Amino acid sequence: MGLMDQLKQGFDKVDDKLGTVVDGGRAEVDINKEEVKIVENTRDIGKKMVEAMDNGLNVEDESIKELYNKILESRKKIEELKGQQEEYKKKLNE
């Protein structure tokens, strides 16, 4: 086997390895895309659950009730903070 044949074999191996790396990278990107879909769908389920609870859905699961109560507390705090913002705006306009 001549030097040129050895070089060609070496380049072929490198090319195969690079192809494998690229394919592996594509798979990683596809995995990440699917994980993002899971997160987005989980978030959407949560939004729908909160909307349903806002409309009177009774949930037996205590952990969900606890999380919903935290949402209600945050909503209340947001309203208080919005009131403070309005007061600051009024003072600035005086």
Number of C-alpha atoms within 13 angstroms, CB side, residue 13? 6
- Verify that 46 and 68 share a domain, yes or no: no
- Verify that 54 and 70 share a domain, yes or no: no
- Verify that 53 and 24 share a domain, yes or no: yes
Cα(43)–Cα(59) distance, integer angstroms: 18
Of 63, 27, 64, nearest in space to 45 by CA: 64
pLDDT digits (tens, 9 = 90+) for 10-59: 777 777 777 776 777 788 888 899 999 999 999 999 999 999 999 999 99
- Verify that 31 and 54 share a domain, yes or no: yes
Segment 79-83 shows an average pLDDT of 94
Q: Greatest CA span in the chain, whole angstroms?
A: 92
- Verify that 49 and 70 share a domain, yes or no: no
pLDDT digits (tens, 9 = 90+) for 54-79: 999 999 999 999 999 999 999 999 99
Domain that holds residue 81: 62-94
- Give how many domains the chain has, as a whole number: 2
In a domain, 4, yes or no: no
- The better pLDDT of the pair 84, 17 is held by 84
Look at residue 74 in the predicted model and tell me its pLDDT: 96
Of 57, 54, 45, nearest in space to 75 by CA: 54
In a domain, 74, yes or no: yes
Look at residue 1 in the predicted model and tell me its pLDDT: 61
For residue 4 the two structure tokens come to 């040129």
- Verify that 30 and 44 share a domain, yes or no: yes
